[in-house]
Structure 1
Amino acid sequence: MVAQSKVVLVVDDEPVNIMVLSDLLKDRYRVIAAKNGEQALQRAVGNIRPDLILLDVMMPGMDGFTVCRELKSKSETASIPVIFVTAMNEEVDEMKGLEVGAVDYITKPISPAIVNARVKTHLALKTAQDELAKQNELLDKRVKTRTAELSLTQDITILALASLAETRDNETGNHIRRTQYYVRVLAEDMANHGFYTDELTPENIELLYKSAPLHDIGKVGIPDNILLKPDRLTDDEFRIMKTHAVLGAEAIEEAEDRLGDAVETSFLRYAREIARYHHEKWDGSGYPEGLTGTQTPLSARLMAVADVYDALISKRVYKPAFEHDKAKMILLQGRGTHFDPDIVDAFVRVEQAFIEIAEQYKDE
């Protein structure tokens, strides 16, 4: 007797039929038996799991169709191929059998050659399917690992750039945290209300959240005497300060070029857009390019609201910190001139979240 690696479950309410099939298959496979539907379902999930089931159709109580339907409804047994066995003189609905999940039919009285051929064929198909499932699982694990590596690379890249910005900016790290949370809340609300749903996917909103801390990275290129000046800037100084938008975008573009094909760099697109355009205004009076309306990328329009709100509620050398209600009033006054009207409307809907973020990450 050869070593049996595959297990065949024979299900029949007639012991003689079980004996005939067992004698036929036992030299090639390990054969286990069940005399009714309930027992078959138990054996299918027992310690010795079948690789294939030969299932009688006409059985008292639970018939073969019901047993097959039950097997296919459970994840642990759904992949086991089922071959129906039925007498030639029995009227059997073959279409029904295939619909409930059977892969084949064998008629009684059985032909040994046909039984062996069908069992061999369907076990080979099952083996191939199992191997494919294993390969797919392995591929899925590799994809998840690669995705995690890319995400970590993105996070490290953004963190490094943001840390560089923090070292020179006279604004606090909490400003960076608050604005990124504001941006995410605004983006989620707009998506939930049907705005820009093609762009504001959960994945892109996460990229917006991660990219927001880089909005003022260009300030690393502003001279200390202007960047760190404890008083209000002169007009000439402010003209120099405004160049931080272009400087930031160029710095991110250089980072993209250096990363090149070594890593997917599209995640920096939002960072580049935000850095360059978050000082543009809806009516075209902003900088650096004087864009109007939706000419300004959505990412930068979101940041404009988040950044201005946080500047209003924060203390600066030229102004005290405003209360939320005053900051809200200023944003409403800028609706349709400074800010995208739809984003201001989103701000109004989520203003309580803004208040909570400001409190949670307030400056010391």
Structure 2
Amino acid sequence: MNKEKEQKKPTIMIVEDVPANLHILIELLKNDYRVIPVKDGETALKKLSGIALPDLVLLDIVMPGMDGYEVCRNLKNNPATKEIPVIFITAVSEAMDDAKAFEIGAVDYITKPFNPLTVKARVRTHVNLSQTVKALQEALKKIKTLNGLLPICSSCKKIRDDKGYWNLLEAYIEKRSDASFTHSLCPNCIEQLYGDEDWYKKKKVNRHGRGLATPDHENNVSISTVNRHD
């Protein structure tokens, strides 16, 4: 059960070359997140090419070899990793180029020495945003779009699917989108079908007698309403 609970936690990669700083961040975040600690930028990029992508990267700016700016630029130029939010880690004493940081794709930054409440709040905010974006992207993938030519019967209006079966129009569309149907009659069809019925004439007289215009959506009549007058 504990292993399953651990796997459900959001994942954060921390890229920090100073062991003491890395330890502090791990201790702050390990209860709420799965933490992947990395000590340099090159290793981070290699790891990200072979694991499930994290929900967030905490990235130190000043590191030996590849600095944080270059690591972030590589992440954002790679289609596989460009959507991962990056929070820069910078010391108060370091001169950080805010414009450069945000221009290359960072979403926020935290400063050293760390303020535990600030670190947790900013991480939580951007992890939640990241997960929301992922959920929306997954939902969009599941939405099937209708395009091209649809073979439709000119008599019964059934549609032939790609397996050769004929489906009701409503069923066909519901399978391929998030749309669902409620059955009603448009004003023209109501007039043609029930224009001579007493109940319908009475309804029209009542509206016109009150001097009310009848918008199209109020002219619509549900099938159940029609059935009550049959």
Using the size of structure 2 for normalisation, the TM-score is 0.62
The equivalent residue for 1:60 is 64
Provide the C-alpha distance between the structure 2 equivalents of 1:32 and 1:79, rounded to a whole number of angstroms.
18
Provide the C-alpha distance between the structure 1 equivalents of 2:104 and 2:127, rounded to a whole number of angstroms.
19
Aligned pair 1:34/2:38, yes or no?
yes
**1:47, distance to aligned residue in structure 2 (A):** 2.4
- Whether the 8 Å contact between 1:55 and 1:85 is mirrored in structure 2 is yes
Provide the C-alpha distance between the structure 2 equivalents of 1:93 and 1:107, rounded to a whole number of angstroms.
13
The equivalent residue for 1:153 is 151
The equivalent residue for 2:51 is 47
The equivalent residue for 1:102 is 106
**1:46, distance to aligned residue in structure 2 (A):** 2.4
Deviation string 1:168-189 (CA, Å, 9 cap, x unpaired) is: xxxxxxxxxxxxxxxxxxxxxx
Deviation string 1:297-318 (CA, Å, 9 cap, x unpaired) is: xxxxxxxxxxxxxxxxxxxxxx
Deviation string 1:201-246 (CA, Å, 9 cap, x unpaired) is: xxxxxxxxxxxxxxxxxxxxxxxxxxxxxxxxxxxxxxxxxxxxxx
The equivalent residue for 2:84 is 80
**1:138, distance to aligned residue in structure 2 (A):** 2.2
Aligned residues: 153
- Whether the 8 Å contact between 1:68 and 1:100 is mirrored in structure 2 is yes
The amino acid of 2:59's aligned partner reads L
The amino acid of 2:147's aligned partner reads T
Provide the C-alpha distance between the structure 2 equivalents of 1:117 and 1:126, rounded to a whole number of angstroms.
14
**1:44, distance to aligned residue in structure 2 (A):** 1.9
More strand by share: 2
The equivalent residue for 1:135 is 139
Deviation string 1:325-352 (CA, Å, 9 cap, x unpaired) is: xxxxxxxxxxxxxxxxxxxxxxxxxxxx
More helix by share: 1
**1:112, distance to aligned residue in structure 2 (A):** 0.6
- Whether the 8 Å contact between 1:43 and 1:49 is mirrored in structure 2 is no
The amino acid of 2:124's aligned partner reads K
Deviation string 1:141-195 (CA, Å, 9 cap, x unpaired) is: x21xx225xx1317x87xxxxxxxxxxxxxxxxxxxxxxxxxxxxxxxxxxxxxx
Provide the C-alpha distance between the structure 1 equivalents of 2:121 and 2:75, rounded to a whole number of angstroms.
23
**1:60, distance to aligned residue in structure 2 (A):** 1.3
**1:48, distance to aligned residue in structure 2 (A):** 4.1
Provide the C-alpha distance between the structure 2 equivalents of 1:131 and 1:47, rounded to a whole number of angstroms.
19
Once superposed, what is the RMSD of the aligned Cα atoms?
A: 2.3
Deviation string 1:119-158 (CA, Å, 9 cap, x unpaired) is: 110010001111111122222xx21xx225xx1317x87x
The amino acid of 2:150's aligned partner reads L
Which runs of structure 2 are paired with 1:118-267 in the superposition (5 Å)? 118-139=122-143, 142-143=144-145, 146-148=146-148, 151-153=149-151
Provide the C-alpha distance between the structure 2 equivalents of 1:47 and 1:16, rounded to a whole number of angstroms.
25
The equivalent residue for 2:74 is 70
Using the size of structure 1 for normalisation, the TM-score is 0.40
The equivalent residue for 2:96 is 92
Provide the C-alpha distance between the structure 2 equivalents of 1:21 and 1:35, rounded to a whole number of angstroms.
13
Provide the C-alpha distance between the structure 2 equivalents of 1:116 and 1:36, rounded to a whole number of angstroms.
22
**1:114, distance to aligned residue in structure 2 (A):** 0.6
The equivalent residue for 2:182 is none
The amino acid of 1:58's aligned partner reads V
Instruction: State the structure with more CA Rg.
Output: 1
The amino acid of 1:152's aligned partner reads L
Question: What 5-or-longer segments of structure 1 have no aligned partner?
Answer: 158-364
**1:100, distance to aligned residue in structure 2 (A):** 0.5
The amino acid of 2:56's aligned partner reads L
